[in-house]
Homo-oligomer: A and B are copies of this chain.
Amino acid sequence: MRYGIIGTGGVARTIADKLVALGHEVTLGSRGKDNEAAAAWVGQAGASGHHGTFAEAAEFGEVLLNATPGTVAVEALRAAGAEHLAGKLLIDLSNPLVFGPDGGLTLDPVNTDSVGERIQREFPEALVVKTLNTLTAPLMVDPARLEGEHNLFVAGNDADAKARTVALLGSFGWPAEWVIDLGDITGARAMEMMMPFWIRLMGAFGTAEFNYAFKRAR
Contacts and interface: CB of A to CB of B under 8 A. Distances in A.
Contacts of A146: 215-217
B211 A214 contact: yes
7 contacts: A146-B215, A148-B215, A180-B204, A183-B204, A190-B197, A207-B216, A213-B215
Interface of A: 100-102, 104, 106-107, 110-112, 145-148, 150, 155, 180-183, 186-187, 189-191, 193-194, 196-197, 199-201, 203-205, 207, 209-218
Nearest to A109: B111
A145 B216 CA distance: 9
Contacts of A104: 112, 186, 189
A214 B210 contact: yes
Contacts of A155: 200
B194 A197 contact: yes
Q: Which of A102, A155, A186, A204 has the most CB of B within 10 A?
A: A204
A193 B212 CA distance: 16
A190 B203 CA distance: 12
Please give me the 4 A-B residue pairs with the lowest Cβ-Cβ distance, nearest first: A209-B217, A146-B215, A190-B197, A190-B196
B191 A193 contact: no
A210 B216 contact: yes
Contacts of A181: 204
A204 B154 CA distance: 11
Contacts of A189: 104, 196
A110 B203 CA distance: 21
A102 to B, nearest CB: 7
Given A189-B196, A209-B217, 13 more contacts: A100-B112, A102-B112, A102-B186, A104-B112, A147-B215, A180-B201, A187-B200, A190-B197, A190-B199, A193-B194, A193-B196, A211-B215, A213-B213
